[in-house]
Structure 1
Amino acid sequence: MNATEFRNAVKSGLAGGYLFYGSEEYMKRHCLSLAKKSVLGEDGSDFGYVKLSGEGKSLSELASHLSDLFATPSFTPCKLTELHECMLLKPSEADLSRFVSAMESIKNDKSNVFVLYTNEQELDAGSAKSPSKVFRALSACMTPVEFAKESGAKLTAWVNKHFASQGIAARADLCAELIDYSGHDMTTLADEIDKLCFYLLAHGRRELAREDIPLVACSYTEINAFDFSNALLARDRERVFAILSDMKGKKEEPVVILGGISKMFSEMCSVKALSDRGMQKAQIAKAVGMHEYAVSLRLKAVASRTYEELSKAVAACLETDIKLKSSSEDKYLLLELLVVRLLSGR
């Protein structure tokens, strides 16, 4: 099943377990929100809704907990259970068997809808011709839903539709140009489209022009560094690993990736320090030699963070930079270790 087929399934009624996998996080989140509305109603009542984290738990522990949840009576006709942060790379045979048994207990059960939300760091699905052992086992008791990266005409049409939903006309060639400029990630593109629409509407315009794209939107490199740093600050594990997976897929050098993150954290640190001294946006922009709009984005990103927390992140980046340039260790592994460290706040 793909995203389109899942949306059709939502309309006809969901039942049992669904395995969300693949690299397109935007569409995963969108489909999950559709599932919530379908099961819980438009008001999004918390009755009959449970969201779990599998971090630090074995599949056997999760299976036991889920079995109890599935069997517990609800005040609603249908319950929705979500499981995130579940490590499925190398489970033991016994753990996997117990988890599969728990999932089989709700197969085609219209009173229980379950979504196992995974990313590529948590589940190796293998390929269509050669699926992994874990993926085969899960697919036998749940409906797998693949969220692959969109590209070409489909992604261009999606961008065009996104502009149109806000009353902006955008030619197909300009939609394709925005994709080339800002990247193929739907979450990123949605943010850039929102910025462009806000800019155009604020200036009384209803049509996108070529010169608007570099003027308002961020380039792929700028976005990844800022988005990655933001996700790390927010400890948004799913978003962090989605961005990292995208950068690895494009074979970006770990040194270059780290350079962008280090620069962004350093800028955030400077902006936070000056803001804590009572300086306003325009004053900060002048002091650090940055555009006011860029300063406002960084101020928003660091609003709930302390200077000490940002300083620790900068120091951790510096340590990793030294290792990347002097060690023979796997460079992507060093980068992933830094990510885990920043996510844990150490």
Structure 2
Amino acid sequence: MDAKAAAKAVKQGEVSSVYLLYGSEKYQMNEFAALLESQLLTKEDKDFALIHMDLGEVPIQAVVEEAETVPFMVPRKLIFVRDTSLFTAGKDNSKIEHRVEALLEYLDNPADYSVVVFMVQHEKLDERKKVVKAVKKVGTALAFMPLGGDELLRWVDKQASIQNCSFGPGAAEALVRNAGTGLQTLAGEIDKLCLYAGAGGTVDEATVDHMVARSTEQNVFALVEDIANLRIDKALSIFYELLKQREEPIKIAALITRQFRIILQVKTLSKQSYSQQQIASQIGLHPYAVKIAGEQARKFETSRLENILNHLGDLDYKMKTGGVDKVLGLELFLLRLGA
């Protein structure tokens, strides 16, 4: 079952006794947790029925004990449990001793008056562990992973419609380009833009560029995009703006190198018939970043990308050893790329 199906089931009153939420997309995970809270508890019940626990602070036995304790003055309890490494392959560095057997015994006969929700900020579960298999058998395990390229843009449009506004052509892409791919950040920016546009208004690309500030990483991303499209004047404009913000030229060069390395990796893996999602997983990137890198990769031959990376390596050495003025060296590099 995926998150959408699980959310639909919750709204229809079909609730599991145990949920295991995992993945790197914290915003959507928290949305599902909020849905459970709103569907299962009334405002009056929350003081007695809503419980938060952290396995970095308490043992799993305490969670089981809480789940088995009959609720006081409310029909059902909702227990959110932050997990460290009980369900993953990572090492548990805490000094708390977890008796996993207690949870396994509970899962054999979970209490019908408690809903336990484990929230794991990790991309993968350790499928070899008995506790993972037991939770999947008894309850519901849901993955919350980064949205794919087109799916992310649809999510932006949907969030805007919830705010009673719309995004014009290119505006959603501009927002992701400026603010990045984090849903929490994007949601905040969408709220701000829709407030500016007003009820029923439309947010255009120019408004996004005017109101949404770019981070250094996103500025470099845009700089490389301008280079790929031979807009060297715009690329230089971004470079000078970064210098005004007192960004270190060596850091700018390192970020440019990183982006060109990503483009080369995406181009190489695409030739090997890897899908966008597989490439994202392989090189540890958001699917949308892979989508954009793929579009940029089509504008460069592999040999040219390799040459660019070699030149950047030489430039890095000269900048760090005083062989060239850092600003002048990077400026000349950008001009040569345009030529």
TM-score range for the pair, normalised by the shorter chain length: 0.5 to 0.7
Aligned to 2:114: 112
> Displacement, 1:211?
1.0
1:98 matched to 2:102: yes
Task: Give, in whole Å, the separation in 1 of the partners of 2:53 and 2:200.
Answer: 45
1:186 paired residue among 155, 175, 183: 183
Alignment of 1:143-158 (within 5 A): 143-158=140-155
1:102-134 Cα deviation digits (max 9, x unpaired):
23331xx542111011101xx7415xxxx3435
1:268-318 Cα deviation digits (max 9, x unpaired):
xxxxxxxxxxxxxxxxxxxxxxxxxxxxxxxxxxxxxxxxxxxxxxxxxxx
**Secondary structure of 2:53's partner?**
strand
> Displacement, 1:170?
1.0
**Secondary structure of 1:41's partner?**
coil
Normalised to the residue count of structure 1, the TM-score between the two structures is: 0.55
Alignment of 1:320-331 (within 5 A): none
Alignment of 1:234-245 (within 5 A): none
> Using a 3 Å threshold, how does the CA distance of structure 1 residues 218 and 250 change in structure 2: closer, same or farther?
farther
**Secondary structure of 1:160's partner?**
helix
Alignment of 1:195-344 (within 5 A): 195-201=192-198, 206-219=201-214, 221=216, 249-250=284-285
**Secondary structure of 1:211's partner?**
helix
Aligned to 2:25: 24
Letter in 2 for 1:213: V
Gaps of 5+ in 2: 219-280, 287-319, 321-339
Question: Do 2:16 and 2:139's aligned partners in 1 also have CA atoms closer than 8 Å?
Answer: no
> Displacement, 1:31?
0.8
**Secondary structure of 1:212's partner?**
helix
Task: Give, in whole Å, the separation in 1 of the partners of 2:62 and 2:157.
Answer: 46
Task: Give, in whole Å, the separation in 2 of the partners of 1:15 and 1:110.
Answer: 9
> Using a 3 Å threshold, how does the CA distance of structure 1 residues 150 and 159 change in structure 2: closer, same or farther?
same
**Secondary structure of 1:213's partner?**
helix
> Displacement, 1:83?
0.7
Alignment of 1:119-134 (within 5 A): 119-120=121-122, 124-125=124-125, 131-133=127-129
Question: Do 2:71 and 2:113's aligned partners in 1 also have CA atoms closer than 8 Å?
Answer: no
Question: Do 1:15 and 1:110's aligned partners in 2 also have CA atoms closer than 8 Å?
Answer: no
Question: Do 1:21 and 1:146's aligned partners in 2 also have CA atoms closer than 8 Å?
Answer: yes
Normalised to the residue count of structure 2, the TM-score between the two structures is: 0.56
Task: Give, in whole Å, the separation in 2 of the partners of 1:151 and 1:96.
Answer: 35
Task: Give, in whole Å, the separation in 1 of the partners of 2:213 and 2:45.
Answer: 34
Task: Give, in whole Å, the separation in 1 of the partners of 2:66 and 2:160.
Answer: 45
Alignment of 1:42-57 (within 5 A): 45-57=46-58
Aligned to 1:4: 4
Task: Give, in whole Å, the separation in 1 of the partners of 2:71 and 2:200.
Answer: 54
**Secondary structure of 1:148's partner?**
coil
**Secondary structure of 1:149's partner?**
coil
Task: Give, in whole Å, the separation in 2 of the partners of 1:211 and 1:63.
Answer: 55
1:165 paired residue among 162, 167, 176: 162
1:175-232 Cα deviation digits (max 9, x unpaired):
133223322221111011112122333xx98111111112111325479xxxxxxxxx
Question: Do 1:156 and 1:172's aligned partners in 2 also have CA atoms closer than 8 Å?
Answer: no
Larger radius of gyration: 2
Task: Give, in whole Å, the separation in 2 of the partners of 1:94 and 1:82.
Answer: 17
Task: Give, in whole Å, the separation in 2 of the partners of 1:44 and 1:188.
Answer: 31
> Using a 3 Å threshold, how does the CA distance of structure 1 residues 95 and 162 change in structure 2: closer, same or farther?
same
Gaps of 5+ in 1: 224-245, 252-324, 326-346
**Secondary structure of 1:20's partner?**
strand
Aligned to 1:281: none
> Displacement, 1:98?
2.5
> Using a 3 Å threshold, how does the CA distance of structure 1 residues 94 and 35 change in structure 2: closer, same or farther?
closer
2:85 paired residue among 81, 84, 87: 87
Identity across matched positions, percent: 25
Task: Give, in whole Å, the separation in 1 of the partners of 2:53 and 2:65.
Answer: 13
